[in-house]
Amino acid sequence: MSELVFFSGTMDCGKSTLALQIGHNRSARGLQGVIFTRDDRAGEGKLSSRLGLVTEAVEAGPGRDLYGYVVDQVSRGGKVDYVIVDEAQFLAPEQVDQLARIVDDLDLDVFAFGIMTDFRTRLFPGSQRLIELADRLETLQVEAMCWCGARATHNARTVGGAMVVEGEQVVVGDVNRPAEDVGYEVLCRRHHRRRMTSASAHAGALSPDVLPVSAG
C-alpha cells in the first residue's frame, strides 16, 4: 500500500542526501519519479545536497497544484512511479493535502523531507500539516551536532554570527554562509535558549576576564 512518509530532522542532518539516494535507488530499478522542491540552496528547480550532489526538480512555488502536476504528467503519457518532495516545510498546508491525495487517489508513494521547526522553535505550517496527515513519520538517524558536541535539536538563524529571534519565518540561507550574511546554525536546546552560537561562544572565550582580581 502506498504511503505518505515524512522524514524530518534539523538542518545539516542529511535530508536532501537521503532524498537523492531514494531517487537514485528507484531510478536504478527502472522507476521514474517526480521531484518537487522549494527554495533550495542551489537555486530554483534544484534538489541539492551539501555533499555536492544535485539534480533537477520541479519548483513547488506558492499556488502550484502538486496533485494536478502529477495528473498532467500521467495524462500526457509520462510515467510516474513515486514522488519526492524536499524542503517540504515550505509547502502550504493545502499543498500537503495534495500530496496525501496523490497517495490515496493515484496509489503512489510520496517521500517528503523537511525540518519541523523554524528559528523560533515554531512548527512550519507545512510540517504541521505533514505531521497531521502522514502515514509514517521518520526521524533521520544522522545527528547534526551543536558546536559544544551535544546533539543538535534546534535551528538558529544568525546575522553576523549572532543569533536572531525575530523576522520573517522563511529567509533562505544555509549553514555554510559567511558569518556576515544571514545564515543558520544547528544548536542543542541549551545553547539555543541562551542564544549562544559558535561565534558568540568563541568571542566569549577570547574576552578578557572582567572580574576584579585581588592582589592578596
Query: Could you give the CA distance from residue 106 to residue 18 in angstroms, rounded to a whole number?
Result: 24
Question: Quick check: helix, strand or coil at residue 78?
Answer: coil
The reply, when asked if residue 10 is annotated as ligand binding, is: yes
Look-up: residue for cell 515524512?
6
The reply, when asked if residue 181 is annotated as ligand binding, is: no
C-alpha grid cell for residue 94? 493545502
Sheet holding 182-187, edge to edge: 162-164, 154-159, 182-187
The reply, when asked if residue 72 is annotated as ligand binding, is: no
Tell me which of 87, 138, 143, 166 is the catalytic residue: 87
C-alpha grid cell for residue 91? 509547502
The reply, when asked if residue 16 is annotated as ligand binding, is: yes
The reply, when asked if residue 89 is annotated as ligand binding, is: yes
The reply, when asked if residue 9 is annotated as ligand binding, is: yes
The reply, when asked if residue 73 is annotated as ligand binding, is: no
CB atoms within 10 A of CB 185: 27
| Active-site residue, 180 included | no
Query: Could you give the CA distance from residue 189 to residue 185 in angstroms, rounded to a whole number?
Result: 12
Annotated binding site: 9-16, 86-89
Residues known to be catalytic: 87
Annotated binding site for ATP: 9-16, 86-89
